[in-house]
Amino acid sequence: MPSIGLHHYLALSAVVFCIGIYGMLTRRNAIGVLMSVELMFNAANIALVAFGRFVTPQLVTGQVVAAFTIAVAAAEATVALAIVLLIYQHHRGIDVDRINIMKW
């Protein structure tokens, strides 16, 4: 077995990302969807850091961007959870497939 390289990390990233997509598409619970999105964020972070590690080892640009991504994800999670609470107060439930007011 060859040593672990960029492709292995990227493959891991792809797998996690697709799992996240599956979750995002199928979970009814809004918080479940949010968790799936977090998975996808992490997959992206893995890819970013892996590229930075193997393509430009002398720079830390990949890590900078990943750090920003983490910060943005934190902000996203905060706002999203607030919205989930609001929805819960209005609908007495947070099932995403019952929330279709965007239709109007």
Q: Which of the residues 43 through 102 are near other proteins (CB under 8 A)?
A: 45-46, 49-50, 52-64, 66-68, 70-79, 81-86, 88-89, 94, 96-97, 99-102
Cα–Cα distance list, 12 to 8, 57, 64, 79 (Å): 6, 20, 21, 29
Site size toward other proteins (CB under 8 A) is 83
Q: How far is the CB of 40 from other proteins (least distance, A)?
A: 10
Q: How far is the CB of 48 from other proteins (least distance, A)?
A: 9
Integer Cα distance of 41 and 13 in angstroms = 10
Binding mask 17-36 for other proteins (x = CB under 8 A): xxxxxxxxxxxxx-xxxxxx
Backbone angles phi, psi at 95, to 5 degrees: -75, 120
**All residues at 6 or more sequence positions from 78 whose CB lies less than 8 Å from its CB, including other chains:** none
Q: How far is the CB of 39 from other proteins (least distance, A)?
A: 5
Q: How far is the CB of 69 from other proteins (least distance, A)?
A: 10
Q: Which residue's entry shows tokens 């989930």?
A: 84
Q: Are 52 and 60 in contact (CB under 8 A)?
A: yes
